[in-house]
Structure 1
Amino acid sequence: MSRVVRGMEVVYQRVPGDIGGSARNMGNGGHNQRSHLQLFGQAKEQIDDIFKEIGQFVQETDTLVDEIGTTFQEILPADVSAKVKGYKEKVQDIREVIQRKGMKVVVFGRTSNGKSTVINAMLRDEIMPSEVGHTTHCFIQVEGSDSREACLLTEESDQPKNLELLEQLANNLSDQRLKSNSLIRIRWPKDKCRLLREDVVFVDSPGVDIDTYNDFWIDQFCMDADVFVLVASAVSTLTQTEKNFFHKVSSRLSKPNIFVLQNRWDECAKAKKVEDVRRQHMERSIAFLVDELKVVDKKTAEDRVFFVSAREALVSRLQQDKETPVPSGVLRIGYEKRLSEFAKFENQFEQCISKSAVKTKFEQHTVSGKSITSDVRGIMEQAYTTSLQLKTNQEKKRQDKEGELNVLEKELTWLNDDTIKALVEEMDRKVKKALEEEETGRLSALVEQYDQPFCADKVKDYKKGLNARVKEEEIGRDLKDAFLASINTIEARMADQLPSILRNETRPMPYDLIPNRDDWMARALNCHNLYEDFEEDLNFKLPSSLQLTETQVAYLQAAGAVACVAAINIETVAPAAPVVPAVICSVNMLPKVWEWWVWTDKQKGKAFKQQYKMYVSSKLTDIKSECRSMVDGELSSNFDQLCQQVKRTKDQLQEDLDQLNVTISKLGGDLWQVQISEGQG
């Protein structure tokens, strides 16, 4: 029989040497025949490869999610990492389940109907204990093993045991037999049996007529079965016990796959009405499957009922594998047809179990795989969308930072020593103008307008009155206002520049430029007591125009006298010029005469006012100089700090820009990885 693959369907075609040839080739074609069971193996391999790729996809996603979570927590919710790790573990679990999944067939029937012989015939070896009467006492599962040595395992221990113990543990006639609801697992070398190589698992059972554990059996051993084989006896009819058991199976499983083998058909070979018996068994079996269990339609049921002799199939196959003829008398009349029927059963069985197993074993895993892939792909799409938006935002921030840095670098040309110098000079001009044009003029007018009579004996009272008048008129007010206005202007101009230079979090308020301004200005611009330390000097001093030279004094002494007239300028007196005497005195008495003649209270009052104006003006000038020096010092100091602050701002902007470049580059890499992951998904 050759295999033709059409899509996912495997079709077998008959070739010379297959069933229908010599008696030796009757049966399932031997250990090396290629069968429908390969569909399951192919599907198993394919779905394992698919889940391997899904596992790689989820693993890469997990790595990417961890990297994203380390650098960009805002891209994905906090629970995504745990969710992806859960998917990774789930995929690993599914792969482990797929790799150990097999196609399971469970054989049931009454005692001595030949259940164990059917399994032995299909396995082409005498593995199960098979004797006359009630032989199999518990459940026996036969599964393939990569080992070359057969062994058995019990539920009590995972320690492999010698296969010879099977007769003691499973045979009903043994005193050491296990309970009927126990399970013995036989690990049989795969290279000895094609069906085991194809991942078929056989389960033999005790007779359904000898125990009441039916419900437990179904729950324990049948819920994951792909095919059930009911081994009936062709020499009798289906019993209600057999039917009741499968009614329970059908109530727990949705439309189970059930085959009915009318075994021991060779014993009916010599019956006179053998065809009538066959028709009766066929009708009743079909009615049981279609009308009672309602698991298949009539057409399908016709391919689920077979008339066989498991004993003949086993004997012929054992001899075929040994390449020895079957002993005469072992095979009864018509055995060729029964062997062909058994092979037909196996062919239908293999088609059914492979399709059923692919659906039952892998369908749910396929759904899970799609769900996992869809969820992980959704996570990647979310990561891509969020990363793209974040990258766009970061690029916008970078653009803004670059703009800030460019503006800062341009405006730094304004922030230099010449700026402070120019501002202070401008302030100095305004204050000087206020002092010379306003304050000094007000002071002079106020003093000159002070009309109280001056008396040398009452200078203190006169000064007190003048001081009160100066205080009342707030001399120094214009100077103070000019200073304050200039400082405010300086601060305003600098404050106007700072917002574009400094970042918001480091930008000082205008009044921060000159800390404690009010305190030191209150001390520096104290104009309330400008006159407190004023001391007048009313002592007479001969004018320099009346000072005689040594030549003039010598001449006058030689003449014996000097004539002094108030209107005469002594410097014009020549040695030979005549003198008109008004007052005759000695040369040494001249200053006293002049003081007596001109140094009156009126002249003293004028001198007092002049000295007073000069003193107060000088005090205002000192205040101006002190304030200028203080402002210059404060601004220079704060200017240095401001320059450092601007430098820090510039450095921070550059650092932010560098970090944004790194972030954008990393986001670009993440986007690329996410796109690759999405493509794999």
Structure 2
Amino acid sequence: MAAYVNRTISLMSGDGPHNRTNMTTILRSNGIDNSPLQIFVKAKKKINDIFTEIEDYINDTVDYMHEIENEEKIVSKGKVKKIEDYVNKVRSIREVLARDHMKVAFFGRTSNGKSSVINAMLRDKILPSGIGHTTNCFLQVEGSSAEDPYLTLEGSTEQRAVESVGQLAHALCKEKLSESQMVRVFWPKNKCLLLRDDVVFVDSPGVDVTPNLDEWIDKHCLDADVFVLVANAESTLMVTEKNFFHKVSTKLSKPNIFILNNRWDASATEPEFLDQVRRQHQERAIDFLVKELCVCTTKEAEERIFFISAKEVLQARLAEQGQTVSTPLTEGFQTRYFEFQDFERKFEECISKSAVKTKFEQHSQRGKYIANELKDILEEIYNEALKLKEEKLKLQKEITDKINYTEQQLLMVTQEMKLKIRNMVEDVEQRVSKALTEEIRRLSTLVDEFNLPFHPEPLVLNVYKKELHLHVETGLGSNLRARLSTALAMNMEQSQGEMAAKMEKLIPENYRNVNNIIMPRKQPFEILYRLNCDNLCADFHEDLEFRFSYGLTALIHRFSGSKSGFLNLMNKSERPQSSIPSTPMDVPDNSRMLGFNQNPLDDWSFLSRIAIMSATSQGTMGCMLLAGFMFKTVGWRVIAIVGGLYGSLYLYERLTWTVKAKEKSFKKQYVDHATRKLRMIVDLTSANCSHQVQQELSSTFARLCSLVDKATQDMTDQLKSLEKEVSTLNNASGKAKVLRNKANYLLHELDLFVDTYLKLHT
């Protein structure tokens, strides 16, 4: 029997009308594995890789946006939050993609052979099968990387031996499970090609054993890619089966449904009715799919209705693996086997295309949406960064030009102001010198105005002198200010105003406003005239002793002071120019002996000598000589008259030598002394005043320059800040451009995925 089965299988291995359809040709031409299921596997791997890149891309974008969020205001917090939300969304999509598989759900009435069909497709007897109500719950068979098979119950992670599935899922098992409860059977992928390709089979209890069809559909059918209705070929489609798929079609848009008329081997006993029965079943199935469910066309429906014997196929495949088969094969087995293979091919093509479309189309569209959103955001950031960069570069150029202009103008204004300050300083020095000289000439008037009580007592006189020093210093300063202050103040104000006006033009208005740069306050300038008369006239010593105006000494000093020049000149002109003085050869007469000479000039000289001798002599000899000389010359009457007049004059002057006269003499002496001292400091005082003017103008100009320097420094600092901002914006725009191009790359990858796996196989 095994040999017969093997021989039959070998006959079916050749080329024939049941080879792969045009889909296989397309797959081969595109370099894809001959198995249509590989489309899903490759598509799943490809879209997983794409979403891995998308996730990395979003993380890079989020990092980038956090980086530029604090640097430049080119991205809002709302955009950052929006992209951060995409991280979780893409992570959720990746988790779904990792769980995605091709799911096929088998439904039908009890004992129609649903489990046998699954076992035949898996080439092993995995699920329990037999007569009567066999499967008591939902069974999901999926691939596992483990070497040994196992199963788990719904809501539990405990791994059980796979052999217990025959008991747990069997309707006759004492451990009753709910009809909608799921038992997951994990079968090693290396034992089944279908499971290797991420196909999941779901076996169900009979649709005729429970009224909870809606619960079944909601719990186990909404994510199914293909539905296989296993019908009993010995009867026609039942209302129960139709009602189930009517409910499915209301919740799913055009579900993919295959109808398997199982146990078709029973037709071998009635060969004369074979074609009529087949035609009858096929017409009713086509009407159900096309007219009742409206899920496909008539041509498509013809491709989805098959007549098979799952039990025969399972036995044949077990025999192919070397297992002993006891049940004999009936007539027409080869045809039924070929049709089962054809079903498997059509099923593989359908479930692969359906799963790719249902599982990945929405994900690909979602990926495109996310990529486009990121692309638009990054494009906006890129354009905004470029715009800001251009604005910063323009502002940078403007500030650079302002700095260069300010420096050039500052140099020109500095040279101009230096010349103006020098001219004004010279003018002030000349004015002060001239005014002080004139005030010194009027010093006697100023001293006469001093009316403090005068007393020759030394202690009182010292106080008087200090007050006089202060009065003179204050008066001179007041007079100088009255003569000069107004004109100097006007010139200073004009010069300072001109400086401020010129320097203010060098400070941009926006810098004065933004940086609170205030021009120097224009205060009236006043020169301090530091005469310091107290120290200057500290060496003044008054002479308040009484001296007769016509005393012999005063007359001689007065006369000798006026005639000495003339006498000296006359003596020089009449005296012989000889290097050896002449010596008289004869003895002079009495007059000569007494010192008289016939020459009047000699007489005057002699008289002067006599007077000086008499005035300066400490004894009576001089007076006697003078009196004897006068008595002999003019006579005693004249001498008496002259003496009386002379005495009266002396008495008058002595009586008029009062405190007032002493004050007048004191002031005259003080004026003479102060005049000499003040004339000595005219140049010093004028230089000091000009220095004050120079210092004031220089300090004003320095303050103005400091403001310009501050504005220039602020512009320089802003220029450095702009350079950093331009560099930041340059990096930001560069990264935005790279990320934007990455979005274009991801969109291209998604488009390529759609063209390769969705459009090509639609």
Q: TM-score, normalised to structure 1's length?
A: 0.76
Q: Is the 8 A contact 1:434 1:482 kept in 2?
A: no
Sequence identity (%): 38
Structure 1 residue aligned with 2:214:
215
1:354 counterpart = 2:352: yes
Gaps (5+ residues) in structure 2? Answer: 1-5, 21-32, 446-453, 455-471, 531-541, 565-604, 616-632, 744-762
Describe the shift of the 1:429–1:167 C-alpha distance in structure 2 as closer, same or farther (beyond 3 A): same
Q: TM-score, normalised to structure 2's length?
A: 0.68
SS at match of 1:177: coil
Describe the shift of the 1:119–1:178 C-alpha distance in structure 2 as closer, same or farther (beyond 3 A): same
Q: Please, which of 321, 327, 331 is the counterpart of residue 333 of structure 1?
A: 331
1:134 counterpart = 2:133: yes
What CA deviation, in whole Å up to 9, does each residue of 1:459-492 have, x standing for no partner? xxxxxxxx9xx99x99845522222222213322
Q: Please, which of 517, 540, 550 is the counterpart of residue 507 of structure 1?
A: 517
Structure 2 residue aligned with 1:185:
184
Deviation at 1:311, TM superposition (A): 0.6
What CA deviation, in whole Å up to 9, does each residue of 1:598-621 have, x standing for no partner? x9x9xx9xx99x99x999x99999
Structure 2 residue aligned with 1:452:
none
- State how 1:422-571 maps to structure 2 within 5 Å: 424-431=421-428, 476-477=481-482, 479-495=484-500, 496-497=502-503, 499-500=505-506, 503-504=511-512, 505=515, 507-511=517-521, 517-518=523-524, 521=525, 546=558, 548-549=560-561, 554-555=608-609, 557=611
Describe the shift of the 1:277–1:426 C-alpha distance in structure 2 as closer, same or farther (beyond 3 A): same
SS at match of 1:548: helix
Describe the shift of the 1:553–1:342 C-alpha distance in structure 2 as closer, same or farther (beyond 3 A): farther
- The 2-side partners of 1:553 and 1:102 are apart by 157
Q: Is the 8 A contact 1:556 1:587 kept in 2?
A: no
What CA deviation, in whole Å up to 9, does each residue of 1:626-680 have, x standing for no partner? 7655555555566666666666555554443333333323332332222222222
Structure 1 residue aligned with 2:630:
none
- State how 1:262-281 maps to structure 2 within 5 Å: 262-271=261-270, 272-281=272-281
SS at match of 1:159: coil
Describe the shift of the 1:154–1:325 C-alpha distance in structure 2 as closer, same or farther (beyond 3 A): closer
Deviation at 1:353, TM superposition (A): 1.0
Query: Is the radius of gyration larger for structure 1 or structure 2?
Result: 2
Q: Is the 8 A contact 2:432 2:689 kept in 1?
A: no
Deviation at 1:493, TM superposition (A): 3.5
1:317 counterpart = 2:322: no
More displaced 10-residue stretch of structure 1: 645-654 or 153-162: 645-654
Q: Please, which of 405, 422, 431 is the counterpart of residue 403 of structure 2?
A: 405
Describe the shift of the 1:339–1:630 C-alpha distance in structure 2 as closer, same or farther (beyond 3 A): same
Q: Is the 8 A contact 1:108 1:208 kept in 2?
A: yes
SS at match of 1:157: coil
What CA deviation, in whole Å up to 9, does each residue of 1:340-385 have, x standing for no partner? 1111111111111111111110011011111111011112111211
Aligned CA RMSD, in angstroms, stands at: 5.2
What CA deviation, in whole Å up to 9, does each residue of 1:565-600 have, x standing for no partner? xxxxxxxxxxxxxx999x96899999989999xx9x
Counterpart of 2:182, as a letter, is L
Structure 2 residue aligned with 1:574:
none
Structure 2 residue aligned with 1:531:
none
Structure 2 residue aligned with 1:657:
719
Describe the shift of the 1:595–1:34 C-alpha distance in structure 2 as closer, same or farther (beyond 3 A): farther
- The 2-side partners of 1:591 and 1:255 are apart by 159
- The 2-side partners of 1:115 and 1:321 are apart by 22
Q: Is the 8 A contact 1:19 1:28 kept in 2?
A: no
Describe the shift of the 1:410–1:436 C-alpha distance in structure 2 as closer, same or farther (beyond 3 A): same
Counterpart of 1:479, as a letter, is L
- The 2-side partners of 1:257 and 1:350 are apart by 12
- The 2-side partners of 1:547 and 1:192 are apart by 158
Q: Is the 8 A contact 2:435 2:483 kept in 1?
A: yes
Gaps (5+ residues) in structure 1? Answer: 1-16, 449-456, 458-466, 527-536, 562-578
What CA deviation, in whole Å up to 9, does each residue of 1:536-587 have, x standing for no partner? x9x99999994634979834727999xxxxxxxxxxxxxxxxx999x96899
Q: Is the 8 A contact 1:28 1:346 kept in 2?
A: no
SS at match of 1:379: helix
- State how 1:70-469 maps to structure 2 within 5 Å: 70=70, 72-271=71-270, 272-322=272-322, 327=326, 329-411=327-409, 413=411, 424-431=421-428
1:44 counterpart = 2:54: no
Counterpart of 1:491, as a letter, is Q
More displaced 10-residue stretch of structure 1: 330-339 or 632-641: 632-641
Deviation at 1:511, TM superposition (A): 1.5
Describe the shift of the 1:380–1:594 C-alpha distance in structure 2 as closer, same or farther (beyond 3 A): farther
Structure 1 residue aligned with 2:595:
none
What CA deviation, in whole Å up to 9, does each residue of 1:166-208 have, x standing for no partner? 2232111111121111011111111111111111111111111
- The 1-side partners of 2:131 and 2:234 are apart by 15
Describe the shift of the 1:478–1:348 C-alpha distance in structure 2 as closer, same or farther (beyond 3 A): farther
Describe the shift of the 1:548–1:593 C-alpha distance in structure 2 as closer, same or farther (beyond 3 A): farther
Describe the shift of the 1:330–1:482 C-alpha distance in structure 2 as closer, same or farther (beyond 3 A): farther
1:678 counterpart = 2:733: no
SS at match of 1:306: strand
Q: Which has the higher contact order (CA 8 A, sep 6+)?
A: 2
Deviation at 1:94, TM superposition (A): 1.9
Q: Is the 8 A contact 1:553 1:587 kept in 2?
A: no
Describe the shift of the 1:234–1:406 C-alpha distance in structure 2 as closer, same or farther (beyond 3 A): same
- The 2-side partners of 1:360 and 1:175 are apart by 39
What CA deviation, in whole Å up to 9, does each residue of 1:511-537 have, x standing for no partner? 16xxxx45xx579599xxxxxxxxxx9
Describe the shift of the 1:490–1:358 C-alpha distance in structure 2 as closer, same or farther (beyond 3 A): same
Q: Is the 8 A contact 2:255 2:295 kept in 1?
A: yes
- The 1-side partners of 2:642 and 2:74 are apart by 115
Deviation at 1:38, TM superposition (A): 1.5
Q: Is the 8 A contact 2:168 2:175 kept in 1?
A: yes
Deviation at 1:286, TM superposition (A): 0.8
Describe the shift of the 1:411–1:584 C-alpha distance in structure 2 as closer, same or farther (beyond 3 A): farther
Counterpart of 2:248, as a letter, is V
- The 1-side partners of 2:708 and 2:355 are apart by 76
- The 2-side partners of 1:443 and 1:297 are apart by 132
Counterpart of 2:68, as a letter, is I
Which is helix-richer, 1 or 2?
Answer: 2
Describe the shift of the 1:555–1:213 C-alpha distance in structure 2 as closer, same or farther (beyond 3 A): same
Deviation at 1:622, TM superposition (A): 11
More displaced 10-residue stretch of structure 1: 400-409 or 388-397: 400-409
How many equivalent residue pairs? 618
Deviation at 1:144, TM superposition (A): 0.9
Q: Is the 8 A contact 2:504 2:519 kept in 1?
A: no
- The 1-side partners of 2:304 and 2:614 are apart by 177
Describe the shift of the 1:228–1:558 C-alpha distance in structure 2 as closer, same or farther (beyond 3 A): closer
Q: Is the 8 A contact 1:103 1:353 kept in 2?
A: yes
- The 1-side partners of 2:517 and 2:649 are apart by 71
Structure 1 residue aligned with 2:11:
22
Counterpart of 1:488, as a letter, is E
Counterpart of 2:142, as a letter, is E
